[in-house]
Chain A
Amino acid sequence: MSAATLLAVEGLRKAYPGVVANDNVTFSVGAGEVHALLGENGAGKSTLVKMVYGLVKPDAGKMTFDGTAYTPGSPHEARSTGIAMVFQHFSLFEALDVAENVALGMEEPPPIRQLAGRIREVSETYGLPLDPGRLVGDLSAGERQRVEIIRCLLQDPKLLIMDEPTSVLTPQEVDILFETLRKLQAEGTSILYISHKLEEIRSLCDGATILRLGEVVGNCDPREKSARELAEMMVGTELKTPAAADHDLGDVALSLKGLSVKSANPFGTSLKDVTLELRKGEVLGIGGVAGNGQDELLGALSGELPASRDAIHLNGEPIGDLGPNARRAIGLLAAPEERLGHAAAPDMSLIENAALTGHVRKKMVRRGLIDWSKARAFADEVIAEFDVRTPGAGNAARALSGGNLQKFVIGREILQKPDVLVINQPTWGVDASAAASIRQAILDLAAEGAAILVISQDLDELMEISGRFAALNEGRLSEPRPAQGLSIDEIGLMMGGAHGMEVAHIHEETHA
């Protein structure tokens, strides 16, 4: 660890009504150190950095920055002190170009032409290729992140906070990012790096503070610990790894032939000529960087987006033109990524949300009338079987934590005994133990003979549960390959490699 301390946090506490987000948190970041904040979802990492960045006021505790007391009242103050932050969710305008977006985030932006020059300069210095004249709406997620990073670097920060930066990147893009971060570190910039991905923390960070339920449970040098040790410190218990039972694959359950679907969103990605076959008992994992057609693929399979009749076959029958309920009736179920507002209605009770997709297969409707006792029984069954923590089925969906609602949503589909189940991001924002139980349930369902398509941006997850792997890249699906023995480089290439790099060069040529 470095000698001089840049940021010191002492006894920080923040309570929200009904929940203590952070309590007595103490840690420090040295000058030129890459320090990791490690913890499960809901461990309080985000609240903590929001306090450092001046977005949230702590209830108690104090911070010192560069030797002087530091009490940021706003992000503006934090920035002028020398702290910059790259958020997990980008705040960019798709209809504006890169330079305009950067200018919007600055206190006193220079003229656009001059700014574009500086953007080129910084992007070349740090190996982050980016053309300032391109529309953000046309950029990949990795390139958008570069916009955010460059926006931060233009302020010459002493401390750069990065919240889950790799969740939107291909493995190759992660390498590029890490190069940049190491270069920054060599120049003396400190980095506070938030993640729950253990391997990358081990390869990048010099020190780590581990949070659990809002409190610091340990400090360590991540390079001296194994990923498993880190995970167990993070979770607090021993981790169970989901195990797939050996079973043979059956006939083709779902086949897509040249499926092309136009996105409903103007900046969405349309599906182009997607072809695949999914067998009974198989788990096929579909990887890819966010925004490469995942939502559209789920929509086309759930029946929300219209497709041509012969593009989708279920058990040999063409079903491309059927609506969601007709597909449910014949055994094709889906669980979308967005829990609140897509998979479930936030203000409705779990009973009503159970009926939302369950009424078809669970035969809850007779002569148009809903049998609410059946819906309640089904909701109770999901709650019991999937260990959903809630005071009762009468509670509104929005009252549940993300992990519990996810268990409810996945459980609701699994307990309907689908022939084919399509899941987008099964464990997004879910804590490690809930994620493990969801993955186990997926494997169990496959062992019973269901065909399962898992769309996810978590490559570790896909490698863990899927038999074959394919990647979505700009709406096209790669040839599926057996997951076993697939190297991280091969996966990265299937996901489109470091697509931003080539694209940036091609554009410069066409501009010239």
Chain B
Amino acid sequence: MIWLEKRPTPSQLWSYLTPLIAVVATMIAGGFMFAFLGKDPLVAIRTIFWDPILGEFAFYYRGQLLVKAGPLILIAIGLSMGFRAGIWNIGAEGQYIMGAIFGAAMGLAFYPMEARWLIFPLMIIAGAFGGFLWAMIPGILKTRFNTNEILVSLLLVYVAEQLLASMSLGLLRNPEGAGFPGSRNLRQYESAANNELIAGWGMHWGVVAAFIAVIFAYILLSRHIMGFNIRLTGASPRAAKFAGVNPNRLILFCLGLSGALAGLAGLFEVAGPAGQISIDFNVGYGFTAIIVAFLGRLHPIGILLAGLLMALTYIGGEAAQATLGLPAAAIQAFQGMLLFFLLGIDVLTNFRVRLGREGHA
């Protein structure tokens, strides 16, 4: 019989190994799925993981990698803070949308004035504020009325989507757009554009912000008292109270921070790769970032790597759709497997597998 025994101290080795094993297990299980769909599993895996970086058309995909990874990392870093403290912000997608709306509105309010030194920073502040504000709703409801932040933040995603549609059709619609939904293109507005910093790399200000967030999060968690309080609250809420942590302040901090970072990601996306507010502006970064946060062990460096990996499956998945005709749902299932295996194998960090007769009754 196989049974699990709790380790006296969590295994360091396994906490590093589990993501790698999860990736390999996903490749194997995904390979079977692709085989059932009638595709050569090896070709499919290669198309997803290999071609975008080192294949024939890699010059096109490589730039996409950072474009996709940037918002994922930025959002996941914010989410990981709350997740570590047991505060579950599931609505980053909504905060991402609100950041984009606020930021774009700020930029468009100045149109056609040219003053990049003023307008672009104001847009960044507005974007962060939009996300922050949207995350404060579940935060305040939770601290005041003890509502469930999972439900409130999630449902606010759909509210944000309705607002987005309304903005694209109404307030922010391009007056010169011949009646089509969608705002002016910010990329064509010099003072508001978030264009590539180096041509072909996909590196824009949002990616820079993501890297800065990784570094700050690392310092916050490992050295700062706030990070210690976050970890302590997640590990043992009563001990945290004994250590003088104010739970309400922590809830507001974690939700506010993750909202602001998601809002920033939205702003950089709308001013850069997306270019405009439109009905289908959001593509699920806010939800995928949840997977990225866990895949990265809620650790900043891990999230950096996980964000790049997840971006790779996105781009590789698109390539596989185009070249092999794989359905989009298969790619999503593939990404889902990654989280499934990660959480499953994660047990080994705290437990050890034993064979033989069970020792405990």
Q: Chain A: residues with CB nearer than 8 A to chain B?
A: 16-17, 50, 55-57, 302-304, 323-326, 328, 334, 336, 338, 341-348, 352, 355-357, 359-360, 365, 368-370, 372, 395-396, 398-399
User: Which of A56, A326, A355, A369 has most B Cβ within 10 Å?
Assistant: A369
* Chain A residues, CB < 8 A from B236: 341-342, 344-348
* Chain B residues, CB < 8 A from A344: 236, 239
19 contacts between A and B (CB under 8 A): A16-B359, A56-B361, A302-B242, A343-B239, A343-B242, A345-B232, A345-B236, A348-B235, A352-B232, A356-B239, A356-B242, A365-B225, A368-B225, A368-B226, A369-B223, A370-B228, A372-B223, A396-B9, A398-B9
B328 within 8 A of A: no
Residues B8 and A336 in contact, CB atoms below 8 Å apart: no
Residues A17 and B242 in contact, CB atoms below 8 Å apart: no
Please tell me the number of chain B residues within 8 Å of chain A, measured between CB atoms. 25
* Chain A residues, CB < 8 A from B238: 338, 341-342
- Of the residues B226, B228, B359, contact of A352 by C-beta under 8 Å: B228
Residues A345 and B239 in contact, CB atoms below 8 Å apart: yes
B52 to chain A minimum Cβ distance, whole angstroms, is 38
Residues A57 and B361 in contact, CB atoms below 8 Å apart: yes
Residues A17 and B5 in contact, CB atoms below 8 Å apart: yes
B224 within 8 A of A: yes
* Chain A residues, CB < 8 A from B231: 348, 352
* Chain B residues, CB < 8 A from A55: 361
**How far is A324 from B8 in the complex, measured between Cα atoms in Å?**
30
B83 to chain A minimum Cβ distance, whole angstroms, is 15
B141 within 8 A of A: no
**How far is A16 from B5 in the complex, measured between Cα atoms in Å?**
11
Residues A303 and B225 in contact, CB atoms below 8 Å apart: no
A17 to chain B minimum Cβ distance, whole angstroms, is 6
Q: Which of B212-259 contact A (CB under 8 A)?
A: 219, 223-226, 228, 231-232, 235-236, 238-244, 246
Residues A370 and B223 in contact, CB atoms below 8 Å apart: yes
B10 within 8 A of A: yes
B205 to chain A minimum Cβ distance, whole angstroms, is 27
Closest 10 CB pairs of A and B: A325-B244, A324-B244, A345-B236, A399-B8, A396-B9, A345-B239, A345-B235, A342-B238, A56-B361, A369-B223
Residues A369 and B225 in contact, CB atoms below 8 Å apart: yes
Q: Which of B1-55 contact A (CB under 8 A)?
A: 5, 8-10
- Of the residues B10, B225, B242, B361, contact of A347 by C-beta under 8 Å: B10
Residues B242 and A336 in contact, CB atoms below 8 Å apart: yes
B2 to chain A minimum Cβ distance, whole angstroms, is 15
A42 to chain B minimum Cβ distance, whole angstroms, is 16
Residues A357 and B242 in contact, CB atoms below 8 Å apart: yes
Q: Which of B306-361 contact A (CB under 8 A)?
A: 359-361
Given contacts A16-B360, A370-B224, A396-B10, 6 further A-B contacts (CB under 8 A): A323-B246, A341-B238, A352-B228, A356-B232, A356-B242, A370-B223
Residue of A nearest to B237 (CB): A341
* Chain A residues, CB < 8 A from B246: 323
User: Which of A345, A346, A396, A398 has most B Cβ within 10 Å?
Assistant: A345
A47 to chain B minimum Cβ distance, whole angstroms, is 10
- Of the residues B10, B228, B239, B361, contact of A341 by C-beta under 8 Å: B239
Residue of A nearest to B352 (CB): A17
Residues A355 and B228 in contact, CB atoms below 8 Å apart: yes
Residue of B nearest to A298 (CB): B242
Residues A356 and B224 in contact, CB atoms below 8 Å apart: no
Q: A17-B359, A345-B236, A348-B232 are in contact. Are A357 and B10 (CB under 8 A)?
A: no
Residues B235 and A346 in contact, CB atoms below 8 Å apart: yes
